[in-house]
Chains A and B, each alone.
Chain A
Amino acid sequence: MIQVRGLTKQYAAVCAVDDLTFDVLPGKVTGFLGPNGAGKSTTMRMILGLDKPTAGSALVGGRPFARLGEPLRAAGALLDAQAVHPGRSGRDHLRVAARTHGIPVRRVDEVIDQVGLGPAARRRVRGYSLGMRQRLGIATALLGDPAALLFDEPMNGLDLDGVRWIRRLVRELADDGRTVLLSSHLMSEMEQTADHLVIIGRGRLIADASIQEVMRGEGAARKVRVRTPSTDQLAGALLRMRLRVHPTDDGELLVEGASAETVGDVALEAGVAVHRLAEEHTSLEQVYLDLTGDSVQYKVSGTPELVRR
C-alpha cells in the first residue's frame, strides 16, 4: 500500500506536483496516467525518497521509504532504465543491490531468469538495448520480493513481445496481492493493463477511480448513433425527452447520454422506423483526452496543415 498525502513539489518557477492525495491499494494494478510533464516521475521519485517534497508526504507500507533499512523488501522500482553504470555487467549491478540487503546471489540468478536476461547478464550494460535495460531494471525491482512495485513508463521502447510480457508480469504481481503502480502517458496501454487509474495533469489530481468508473465518468456519457428515414421526427421526439441530439454528416443522429434501449423505445413511441441503432464505444483514450484536455503542459497549437498536392 502506498499513501500519498498532499504531496507537492515546487521548483523555482514551476509547481511540478500540486497537492496530490491518493492511495495505491494492494492486489490491483494502478495506472498512473498523465501527459508528458504532468509530474508522474516527480511523484514517484518523491514516493521513493529521491526528491524531497516541498509539502506533504508519501508512505510505503506505512513508513517513509527514505527511513527504511531494507527498502527493497518494501518497494522495488524501475524509474529510469538508463540509470545504470554502463561499465558494470547486469549481474554485477544486481549483486551490488543484493549486497545492500544481504540477499544471496542465488536470488540474483533467479530474477535474471525471471526477466529472461539470460547470458546477457554477464555482459557489460554498455552493450544492452533499451529493452534489455528495462528487463534489468525490472529484475532489480523484483530482487527483494517487495510488497509494492513502481514502474515508470516500463513499456517505452519495448517491442510487442516485451509489452505483453510486462502486462502479464504486472497482472501476476497484483494477483499475488502486491501493490503495483504503473505510469504511462498512453491511455491505450492502461486500458489493457490497469484496474484502477490515478490521472494527473499539470501536477494536479484529475481522477482517482476504477477503469470502469473512468469510462462512465464525466465527459464520457454514452452516445447512441441512430439511422432513420424520418430524421426530423425522431430528433423532435428525442429533444422532447431532454436528450441532446446532433445530426451527423452522413444523415444519422448522434444522441448523447442515452442507451440504445432508450432511443429504440422513443422511436417506437414516435412510430419512426429505425434502420440502424448502435451504442458508440467511447475509448478510454478519448475520455482521457477529454479529462486532460486543459492540462496538457506542451500543447501543439493548431493542427498541422494538410499537405496539398
Chain B
Amino acid sequence: MTAVAVQEPGTLAVFTRAAAAEWLRLRTVRTTWWCLLAAAVTIVGLGVIAAADDAQGPVGPGNPLPSTFAGEYGVMLGQFALLVLALLAVTQEYATGAIGPTLQWTPRRGVLLAARVAVPAVVATVVGVSLALIADVLALLVDPDLTLSLADAADSLARIAAVLVAGSVLAVGLGFFLRSTAGALATVFLLQLVLPFLLPAFGVQWMADLGELLPGSGAIWTLLREPEMTATQATALLVGWSGVALAAGGWSLLRRDAG
C-alpha cells in the first residue's frame, strides 16, 4: 500500500455529507415512518374534525373564518409525533450504542451536532407544515363557509413552522443532554404539553404563572393565541428554551465521552 496524501475536505463538505447521512439514517429505520404516519393521521384528522365541528355550529355571515385553525389544532397535538421522530434520531443511538460508530464516521462533534439538529428539524418542519396545509384545504371541503386566503395561509404556516423548529431543536437538545429515550421523552412531553395545560388548571396563581414560562405555552400561544401573552414573550419562550436545550445538548456531545 502506498502512502497517499489525503486531501482533507473542508468543513462545509464534511457537514453536507454528515447531513446526507443523517437523512439516510432517518429514512432507513421504520420508527421514522411510524412517526410520520402518526403525524399525518393526527394533524389532518384533528384538523378535519375541528372543521366539521365548526360546520355544525352557527353560521356567522359577514365574518368568514379562515380554515387555518384546522392545521393549527392538528399541529397542536400532532407535533408530538414529529418531536418524537427528532428525539429518537438522537436517543436511539445512545440506547443501541450506535453513537460509537457514528462518531467514528463523523468524529468532528460540532459538525455532527449541526447535522443532527438541522436534518430532523427540517424534516419535522417541512412535514408538519405540509400536513397542516392539507388539513386547511380539507377543512374548506368539509365546511364551505370557511375561507383560505394566501395571506392567512402564509401567516398560519409560518407560525406552525416556528413552533416545529423550536420544538424539534428542544427535543434534539434534550436528547443529547439526557441521552435516555424515556427521560428525554418525558421531559419534552412535560415541558411542551402536560405542564402548560395542567398548571393553570389548578386555579392557583403562581402555578399558572409558572406554566406561562414553559416552552409549551409559547407554542400554544403561537398556534392558538392563548394564553394571554405578547408576541415577544412567546418568541422569547420558543427561542430561549430551544437555545438552552441546544446548549446543554451540545455541551454533552462535545465535552463528555461518547457514551
- For B8, the chain A residues whose CB sits under 8 A away are 68-70
The secondary structure that dominates the B interface is helix
B101 contacts the other chain (CB 8 A): yes
* A86 in complex: contacting residue of B13, B96, B108, CB < 8 Å: B96
Query: Of residues 24 to 49 in B, which have CB atoms within 8 Å of A's CB atoms?
Result: 24-25, 28-31
A71 and B100 contact, CB distance less than 8 A: no
The complex places the Cα of A92 from the Cα of B27 at a distance, in Å, of: 10
- For B101, the chain A residues whose CB sits under 8 A away are 83-84, 93, 97, 140
Closest-by-CB residue of A relative to B25 is: A96
The complex places the Cα of A72 from the Cα of B9 at a distance, in Å, of: 13
Closest-by-CB residue of B relative to A66 is: B107
Closest-by-CB residue of B relative to A102 is: B17
A290 contacts the other chain (CB 8 A): no
- For A66, the chain B residues whose CB sits under 8 A away are 107-109
Q: Which residues of B contact A (CB under 8 A)?
A: 1-3, 6, 8-11, 13-14, 17-18, 20-21, 24-25, 28-31, 92-93, 96-101, 103-109, 255, 257-258
With contacts A71-B106, A84-B96 known, what are 6 further pairs, Cβ within 8 A? A67-B108, A80-B100, A92-B24, A100-B106, A147-B1, A177-B1
Rounded to whole Å, the gap between the CB of B226 and the closest CB of chain A is 39
A89 contacts the other chain (CB 8 A): yes
The complex places the Cα of A12 from the Cα of B26 at a distance, in Å, of: 36
A50 and B104 contact, CB distance less than 8 A: yes
- For B258, the chain A residues whose CB sits under 8 A away are 45, 50-51
* A99 in complex: contacting residue of B21, B93, B97, B107, CB < 8 Å: B21
A167 contacts the other chain (CB 8 A): no
A87 and B31 contact, CB distance less than 8 A: yes
Rounded to whole Å, the gap between the CB of B153 and the closest CB of chain A is 35
The complex places the Cα of A178 from the Cα of B106 at a distance, in Å, of: 22
Closest-by-CB residue of A relative to B11 is: A69
A79, A99, A101, A178 interface centre (most CB from chain B within 10 Å): A99
Interface string of A51-68 (1 = CB under 8 A from B): 110000000010001111
A70 and B100 contact, CB distance less than 8 A: no
- For B3, the chain A residues whose CB sits under 8 A away are 147
A176 contacts the other chain (CB 8 A): yes
* A71 in complex: contacting residue of B13, B24, B104, B255, CB < 8 Å: B104
- For A52, the chain B residues whose CB sits under 8 A away are 255, 257
Rounded to whole Å, the gap between the CB of B99 and the closest CB of chain A is 8
Rounded to whole Å, the gap between the CB of A228 and the closest CB of chain B is 55
The complex places the Cα of A102 from the Cα of B7 at a distance, in Å, of: 13
B98 and A48 contact, CB distance less than 8 A: no
Interface pairs (18), CB distance under 8 Å: A45-B257, A45-B258, A48-B107, A49-B107, A50-B103, A50-B258, A66-B109, A69-B11, A80-B97, A80-B100, A83-B98, A84-B96, A87-B30, A88-B29, A92-B24, A92-B28, A96-B21, A99-B20
The complex places the Cα of A80 from the Cα of B101 at a distance, in Å, of: 9
* A176 in complex: contacting residue of B1, B92, B98, CB < 8 Å: B1
B28 and A71 contact, CB distance less than 8 A: no
The complex places the Cα of A96 from the Cα of B105 at a distance, in Å, of: 9
Closest-by-CB residue of B relative to A88 is: B28
- For B25, the chain A residues whose CB sits under 8 A away are 88, 96
- For A84, the chain B residues whose CB sits under 8 A away are 96-98, 101
The complex places the Cα of A50 from the Cα of B256 at a distance, in Å, of: 9
The complex places the Cα of A177 from the Cα of B3 at a distance, in Å, of: 9
A142 contacts the other chain (CB 8 A): no
The complex places the Cα of A52 from the Cα of B96 at a distance, in Å, of: 21
Closest-by-CB residue of B relative to A71 is: B107
Rounded to whole Å, the gap between the CB of A24 and the closest CB of chain B is 15
The complex places the Cα of A97 from the Cα of B20 at a distance, in Å, of: 10
* B18 in complex: contacting residue of A85, A93, A100, CB < 8 Å: A100
B257 and A83 contact, CB distance less than 8 A: no
A223 contacts the other chain (CB 8 A): no
Rounded to whole Å, the gap between the CB of A309 and the closest CB of chain B is 47
A74 contacts the other chain (CB 8 A): yes
The complex places the Cα of A45 from the Cα of B101 at a distance, in Å, of: 11
Query: Of residues 12 to 64 in A, which have CB atoms within 8 Å of B's CB atoms?
Result: 45, 48-52, 61
A85 and B98 contact, CB distance less than 8 A: yes
Rounded to whole Å, the gap between the CB of A202 and the closest CB of chain B is 20
The complex places the Cα of A72 from the Cα of B17 at a distance, in Å, of: 13
The complex places the Cα of A24 from the Cα of B126 at a distance, in Å, of: 49
* B96 in complex: contacting residue of A77, A85, A97, CB < 8 Å: A85
Rounded to whole Å, the gap between the CB of B105 and the closest CB of chain A is 4
Closest-by-CB residue of A relative to B96 is: A85
The complex places the Cα of A69 from the Cα of B112 at a distance, in Å, of: 11
* A96 in complex: contacting residue of B1, B24, B97, CB < 8 Å: B24
A95 contacts the other chain (CB 8 A): yes
What are the 10 A-B residue pairs with the smallest beta carbon separation, nearest first? A83-B97, A50-B258, A177-B1, A92-B28, A99-B21, A100-B105, A51-B257, A66-B107, A100-B21, A69-B9
B104 and A48 contact, CB distance less than 8 A: yes
Rounded to whole Å, the gap between the CB of B17 and the closest CB of chain A is 5
